[in-house]
Amino acid sequence: MNLHTKTWVQRLPVPIEVAWDFFSQPDNLARITPPEMFLRVDGGSSGKPIYEGMQLSYTLYPFMMIPVRWTTEIMRVSRPDFFEDRQLEGPYELWHHTHRFLAIEGGTEMTDIVEYALPFDMLGEVVEALIVGRRLDEVFEYRRRKVAEILGAF
């Protein structure tokens, strides 16, 4: 298994509690995901902030209109500093996402760190190099723009 790590940083002109409140609501994930992915949060998480042990199920279409079911678990929560989730079921062999929040002058610095691995050894590495790594960058760039529209930008 080859582990890949990607990091994205964004500065927001809002207090850390405002950033935390936005990102700790699972319903907001659909608002900041590219619309062509048709992300839907399934299950009974609507309107509830995250908590340790919370499981979230999604249906999305990451590419070529192929539906993917994905279940994640919120592993750790330390309000307002960070929360972590991991994939329980889905397309990755391993998925671990850390969301960090740091109060800075004039707002909040938010850092997303994603560690992931794909199944199928060498074939997975080819798919990662040609599709997955780039698609993740596209998704997080879209997310950066949408979050800037919603919460503002430096």
Q: Tell me, what CATH number does 99's domain have?
A: 3.30.530.20
Provide the pLDDT confidence category of residue 44 given band limits of 50, 70 and 90: low
Strand ranges of the sheet holding 82-89, from the earlier edge strand across to the other edge = 4-12, 107-117, 94-104, 82-89, 68-78, 55-60, 40-42
pLDDT in tens, 91-121: 999 999 999 999 999 999 999 999 999 998 7
How many separate domains does the chain show? 1
pTM of the model: 0.92
- What is the helix (H) or strand (E) element at residue 133, kind and residue range? helix 133-151
Query: What token pair was written down for 104?
Result: 């800075």
State the residue range of the domain holding 62: 3-151
Provide the pLDDT confidence category of residue 131 given band limits of 50, 70 and 90: confident
